[in-house]
Amino acid sequence: MLNVLACIASEHRPAYTFAALAVCVVGSLISMHLFARARRTSGMLKFLWLVLTGIIAGGSIWSTHFVSMMGYVTPVKLGFALVPTIYSLAIAMVVSGVGFAVGASTLRTPLVEVGGAILGLGVVVMHYVGISAMEMNGWVVWETRYVVSSVVFALLFGALATNRIARPITAVSKYFAAAAMVLAIVFTHFTAMTGMSIEPAPAIVTGQVRLSEPTLTIGILGVMSTLFLLAIAAYLIDTRTSRDASRKIEHLSLYDPLTGLSNRTNSVAHLGAVISGREDYTARVVVVMIGIDRFREITDAQGQRASDMLLIGLAERLAGSFGGGLSGERDFFGYFGGDTFFGLRYPVYGLRGVSAFAREIAASFDAPVEIDSGRIEVRAHMGAAVFPDHGTEPSQLIEYARLALQRARATASAGVVVYDPALDQKSREAAALSIDLRHAIDRDQLVIYYQPQNDSRTGEIVGFEVLLRWEHPERGQVQPAEFIPIAEETGLIVSIGEWVLRKACCEASKWEKPVRIAVNVAPLQLDRSDLPSIVRGALADSGLPPERLELEITESGIISDQARALHLIRAIRDIGVTVAMDDYGTGYSSLSTLQTIPFDKIKVDREFIKDILTNDQSAAIVKATLILAQSLDIPVLAEGVETGAQLEFLNDLGCVLVQGFLFGKPMTSAELGETGWISDPPRPVRAVETGYRSAVA
């Protein structure tokens, strides 16, 4: 080490030594930064970064060497040959690039350090090729131990340089990497120079073009200038790319990529800014949640692309139909995902302003939206909340507007539904019911009831519809209209439906009278391909003959995918189970459905029977259904028969099967056993036996 220091002090002019060190430090810092950048990319971009890293690292190594050599003190030095000098530059750049490429390959293998060792090897090869470029009156003699030491230093510190970039342990590891590269270059150069001696000899004429010191200085300055310009350009490009990427990420975090409207996060923030920054404290802020009617049906029928184009078209209308666009002085619109948009208007004075805003939004939905496959007509449901009338917090107002939107959907309201505190209470009750419903089966709270189905001419029982009741320990009996929608929304209807099927089959199998039971199948159950196997398992476990089971399916459960529904229904009928269309007349395309699906029975919805004597349209629908069913040879059952007059009207029309309170109320299996309705021998049940004497009077 003392010999190396002596070599630096006595055989190298200090000005050149410090200049070489400055070039080495700057070049190493830039090279390690570029190497770290290359490791964060992939593909062609990674290749380009590695090429740039190799060029700058190799140029820095080369410049450090020749600046130092220009300060080397020897009376016999003549100059540097052009070709070996250029070769040494090319070798430094190529080998450095290869080393960085190997070192950037992976984190989990020693290739990281191997790449650094290759970088060090490039330093060694460049040094000795550069020395060979010297033309002098003498011979170069090497001392082996210093040559070997120079190689060891280069490999060791080169491996350490890439290691600190690839496997950092502190925030300043990148600076340790640059320091290791500096040590690899400096130790290699000065250790090798210490082991080099020159023996005078006559002038050697090689015939090569020789570079004088001024010419070499100009060359070094040119290389260094080019390298630093490349580094600056790379830095600017990297900075610009990072800035653009940050802006893009920020935009994606605030705006929906499909519609271009503000997302939920940005919309909530904007609402908060409007509330906190309002100048007129007498004005109100209106928040409107906008839902697209039948959006899921559109997606199911026409595909995801159609629904995407619909959302884009509606977003453009909302942005373009209001003077401020996406975020005007008065209006602001966002997209919350699914079929829900967000609207905000400020200032608004009085509830008339709320209605006016809603009418303007509805008007933007009036015209059909053009898509690839044609035109789609849509309408909007809207729920609104008003600051400060309903709340003062942005999230609170949005939640209240959402509850109002739910009410608008449920009531099929064409206008805007303004938040009512009662809505919040109902929502909380529904949430509480949802939690309790998850444990209703385990806690034995669900009870099955059976509604008689009768022959309208004799009164004889021909079957029972299976009905479900929930005996809540605190609320008492919860009606299906309350908990079935919750079960469908949460998906619990699948497990509940299977439980009802198995329970009903088990109870009916114990009856003496072999009457049929009809079990409802929810749309979510029909979406499951394992429904036939579930039915088969329920029959096998209970011992109930397949001909005693009938499954009732609503048209809404098959309208989205008739081909799939047809496959399942055929599989169920192959078991021997019959299938009935429930709630006939309330669907979208009942006639075409009857042509496609092989139903064994049609059940006319109670809403038509209720008004059959007073509403000509209801009577006409029932008559048309009976005529159609007779032509297709399908039995018809009328639900909701409660009066003798209704029964007589249906008899006159030829409707043989009826169901309703006129013949009996729903009962449990135990209660049915007490009445004798499920005992052999079978006996007819007249309406007067049920306690509804006044109904047939």
* Residues acting as catalytic residues: 639
CA-to-CA distance for 347 and 284, rounded, in angstroms? 6
CA-to-CA distance for 93 and 136, rounded, in angstroms? 27
List b or e across 670-685, with b for residues whose CB sees 16 or more CB atoms inside 10 angstroms: eebeeeebbeeebeeb
List b or e across 84-93, with b for residues whose CB sees 16 or more CB atoms inside 10 angstroms: bbebbbebbb
Cβ-based burial of 598 (10 A; exposed 0-12, middle 13-18, buried ≥19): exposed
Q: Which two tokens stand for residue 179?
A: 């320091």
CB 674 within 8 A of CB 656: no
Q: Kindly report the backbone phi and psi dihedral angles of residue 477, in degrees, each rounded to the nearest multiple of 5, phi listed first.
A: -80, 120
Query: Which distant-in-sequence residues (6+ apart) come within 8 Å of 200 by Cβ?
Result: 76, 137, 138
Radius of gyration of the chain from its Cα atoms, rounded to whole angstroms: 43
List b or e across 221-230, with b for residues whose CB sees 16 or more CB atoms inside 10 angstroms: eebbeebbeb
CA-to-CA distance for 346 and 286, rounded, in angstroms? 7
Q: Among candidates 383, 667, 679, which has minimal Cα distance to 512?
A: 679
- Bridge-based pairing of strands 446-455 and 284-292 is unpaired
Cβ-based burial of 421 (10 A; exposed 0-12, middle 13-18, buried ≥19): exposed
CB 669 within 8 A of CB 513: no
Q: Kindly report the backbone phi and psi dihedral angles of residue 108, in degrees, each rounded to the nearest multiple of 5, phi listed first.
A: -100, 5
Beta strands in 122-252 (DSSP E): 134-136, 138-142, 196-200, 210-211
The helix (H) or strand (E) run that includes residue 654 is none
Q: Kindly report the backbone phi and psi dihedral angles of residue 398, in degrees, each rounded to the nearest multiple of 5, phi listed first.
A: -65, -40
Torsion of CA 637, 641, 643, 646, to 10 degrees: -40
Counted residue by residue, the chain has a size of: 697
Q: Among candidates 517, 534, 538, which has minimal Cα distance to 526?
A: 534
CA-to-CA distance for 156 and 399, rounded, in angstroms? 63
CA-to-CA distance for 100 and 667, rounded, in angstroms? 82
First to last CA, the chain: 123
The helix (H) or strand (E) run that includes residue 288 is strand 284-292
Q: How distant, in Å, are the alpha carbons of 442, 503, 581 from that of 494? A: 15, 14, 19
Q: How distant, in Å, are the alpha carbons of 7, 288, 311, 328, 513 from that of 384? A: 85, 4, 21, 19, 56
What does the longest C-alpha to C-alpha distance in the chain come to?
142
List b or e across 235-270, with b for residues whose CB sees 16 or more CB atoms inside 10 angstroms: eeeeeeeeeeeeeeeeeeeebbeebebbbeebbbeb
CA-to-CA distance for 171 and 445, rounded, in angstroms? 61
